[in-house]
A and B are shown apart, each in its own frame.
Chain A
Amino acid sequence: MARYGMAIDVARCQGCQACLVACKTENEVPLGKFRLRMREEVVGTFPDLYGEFRMEQCFHCENAPCVPVCPTGATFQTDDGLVLTNPSRCTGCKACVVACPYDMRHVNPGGWVDKCTFCDHRIAEGRQPACVVTCPTGSRFFGDLDNPSSDVSIAIASATQVDVLKPHTGAKPKLFYLESKLINQADHDDPATVLSEFAGGK
């Protein structure tokens, strides 16, 4: 069985949000709703600035906190590690919404809880998720984390900095951020340190 995961190279991401639009189109996400969001962080004082774009979506956590709280079994984890929701079993009770430490779930106008599926329908056809194939800078990598020759494993292995969001939650997210200078840094709130590292090309 595969263990699907994704990595985003923050240094390559230009914040164009083509992935967000591709996701909406591919998955027919309703008007006003999004499965992805973009976070833009900027440190420093003009003209000495450093910024990063960070695309966030369901992290398909290994210890997904949204799964055990579901009272109807609508939210479940596949053998491939994907965390999915079965709309026909979902009551829209929102237990999973409050249980997600990343706040990546929302209620679809149809009443059921919606989120990124890693485009499981495309995976079943042997294709990559829509956000991955759309990214114009090639900042997204997807594949089997257990397969060392998969795109995502190669990207993670060759990165100098690999982070996950909120590691202290114990959720073990399977979406990794590469080459970020702002995520989980002890000096996160100290722009001078980040800027000096940036200037030094670290």
Chain B
Amino acid sequence: MEIGITGVDPTTFPEMAAWHWHIALYLFLGGLVAGIMIISAVLRLRRSPGFDRGLRIAEISAVPLACVGLFALFLDLGNGWNAWRFFATFQVTSAMSWGSWILLFAMIVLVVRATIHTQDLTFRSGWWTRPLDLLSRIGRILGRKSRAIDYSAIVLGIALGAYTGILLSTIPARPLWDSMALAPLFLVSGLTVGGAFICLFLEREPHLRLVPLIVTLCAVELALIAGFMATLLMGPAPLQAAGELLLGGRYALGLWGGVVVLGLLVPVSIEIAEVARRKVPPLLSSIAPYLKMSGGLVLRFVIVYAGVASVL
């Protein structure tokens, strides 16, 4: 059978107009920031010693990371100057509307937490440090409520991390996204990459104490990827066709090579070897967190692009 279609534009080829790298990057950074929020808040509430420096850097870094994600989203909008419309209404049936408000509150908590942790910073005196001194003073005031703010960071972090998956899974027209596993997968992946980001700034000893948690998260992420594939391959024909895109299609290398092997199995093996006091080359040891973060990024790209390409 031959099929001819007239009109080379996004109406004919929807991949020309649908979501691209902006959304994948936005979902990745959203998950990363959510992971940083949750893990850092839990560690602070537990008053775990040895984490303070790493957590402070991660919490302050989370603000520009979230801003980059929002900028990517802004670039994706066809009519960016109408972005304020997201906050002029609340559409209860729209996951994106929920996400807009969650993101707004998460940003407030991110900025508050970053401000709290600037109180420990010392600056050379000069006219240019006055705003930073003021920030430190505000941080000291906000710091009195730090436990309540940490609890709110956990709640908003979970909401933000899950939202990055729910945004896709509430769109039934794309069978690849039609899976209940997507929200927990993106949440756990956010925790994995958030943990990896925090580890970049930790000393060796606290890093090793965090490894059991990170290995558990990676194992759960692998199980969720398996569950996600199972829901596709055991579903109706359109879902099976979507699953084939990931199983042996053009996105298979990205998922299995980039996410599962390089992004999860290899870095987890390195970290387990470190905990077991095996000799691990310093280079391998230092790239493990980067591999996990790359895996998280590739996961979003694979799911977004393969999802747009899948049709009912």
By a CB distance below 8 angstroms, the chain A residues around B10 are 33, 97, 106-107
Q: Say yes or no: is B19 at the interface (Cβ < 8 Å to chain A).
A: yes
Q: Say yes or no: is A142 at the interface (Cβ < 8 Å to chain B).
A: no
- Whether B5 pairs with A40 at a CB distance below 8 angstroms is yes
CB nearest to B304 among chain A residues: A98
Question: Contact partner of B76 among A36, A68, A94, A191, CB < 8 A?
Answer: A94
Question: Contact partner of B96 among A35, A43, A95, CB < 8 A?
Answer: A95
Q: A17-B6, A34-B7 are in contact. Are A71 and B18 (CB under 8 A)?
A: no
Q: A97-B17, A99-B173 are in contact. Are A104 and B11 (CB under 8 A)?
A: yes
Q: How far is the CA of A189 from the CA of B82 in the complex (A)?
A: 46
Q: A39-B3, A93-B96 are in contact. Are A71 and B86 (CB under 8 A)?
A: yes
Question: Contact partner of A166 among B11, B100, B312, CB < 8 A?
Answer: B312
Q: A97-B14, A98-B308 are in contact. Are A92 and B79 (CB under 8 A)?
A: yes
Question: Contact partner of A168 among B18, B82, B312, CB < 8 A?
Answer: B312
By a CB distance below 8 angstroms, the chain B residues around A94 are 17-19, 76, 78
Q: How far is the CA of A36 from the CA of B173 in the complex (A)?
A: 20
Question: Contact partner of A112 among B1, B78, B97, B170, CB < 8 A?
Answer: B78
Interface of chain B residues 78 through 113 with chain A (CB within 8 A): 78-80, 82-83, 85-86, 88-89, 91, 93-97, 99-100
Q: A38-B6, A42-B1 are in contact. Are A93 and B171 (CB under 8 A)?
A: no
By a CB distance below 8 angstroms, the chain B residues around A136 are none
- Whether A110 pairs with B88 at a CB distance below 8 angstroms is no
Q: How many whole Å from A201's CB to the nearest CB in chain B?
A: 21
What mask results when residues 70 to 113 of chain A are scored 1 for a CB within 8 Å of chain B, else 0?
Answer: 11111000000000000011111111011111011111101111
- Whether A73 pairs with B89 at a CB distance below 8 angstroms is yes
Q: Say yes or no: is A169 at the interface (Cβ < 8 Å to chain B).
A: yes
By a CB distance below 8 angstroms, the chain B residues around A101 are 172-173, 311-312
Q: Say yes or no: is A37 at the interface (Cβ < 8 Å to chain B).
A: yes
- The count of residues in chain B whose C-beta lies closer than 8 Å to any C-beta of chain A is 44
By a CB distance below 8 angstroms, the chain B residues around A73 are 89, 91
Q: How far is the CA of A104 from the CA of B17 in the complex (A)?
A: 11
- The count of residues in chain A whose C-beta lies closer than 8 Å to any C-beta of chain B is 50
Q: A69-B170, A91-B78 are in contact. Are A98 and B19 (CB under 8 A)?
A: yes
- Whether A38 pairs with B7 at a CB distance below 8 angstroms is yes
Q: Say yes or no: is A126 at the interface (Cβ < 8 Å to chain B).
A: no
Residue from A38, A106, A166, A189 having most chain B Cβ neighbours under 10 A: A106
Q: Say yes or no: is B216 at the interface (Cβ < 8 Å to chain A).
A: no
Q: How far is the CA of A98 from the CA of B311 in the complex (A)?
A: 10
CB nearest to B238 among chain A residues: A168
Q: How far is the CA of A69 from the CA of B97 in the complex (A)?
A: 8
- Whether B96 pairs with A69 at a CB distance below 8 angstroms is yes
Question: Contact partner of B17 among A40, A106, A189, CB < 8 A?
Answer: A106
CB nearest to A31 among chain B residues: B9
Question: Contact partner of A39 among B4, B173, B174, B311, CB < 8 A?
Answer: B4
Q: How far is the CA of A106 from the CA of B13 in the complex (A)?
A: 9
CB nearest to B175 among chain A residues: A101
Q: A73-B91, A95-B96 are in contact. Are A41 and B78 (CB under 8 A)?
A: no
By a CB distance below 8 angstroms, the chain A residues around B2 are 40-43
- Whether A169 pairs with B9 at a CB distance below 8 angstroms is no
Residue from A71, A95, A108 having most chain B Cβ neighbours under 10 A: A71
By a CB distance below 8 angstroms, the chain B residues around A32 are 9
Q: How many whole Å from A198's CB to the nearest CB in chain B?
A: 14
Q: A41-B2, A94-B17, A98-B19 are in contact. Are A71 and B79 (CB under 8 A)?
A: no
Q: Can you name 24 A-B pairs with beta carbons within 8 Å?
A: A34-B7, A36-B7, A36-B11, A40-B5, A42-B1, A65-B171, A69-B96, A72-B86, A74-B85, A90-B79, A91-B77, A92-B78, A94-B17, A94-B76, A94-B78, A97-B17, A98-B171, A100-B14, A101-B312, A105-B11, A111-B77, A111-B79, A169-B173, A191-B1
A-B CB proximity, top 6 nearest: A92-B78, A111-B79, A68-B93, A106-B10, A103-B14, A71-B96
Residue positions of A touching B, CB distance < 8 A: 17, 20, 32-43, 65, 68-74, 88-95, 97-101, 103-108, 110-113, 166, 168-169, 189, 191
Additional 4 contacts, C-beta under 8 A, given A37-B6, A68-B94, A89-B85? A69-B170, A90-B79, A93-B77, A94-B78
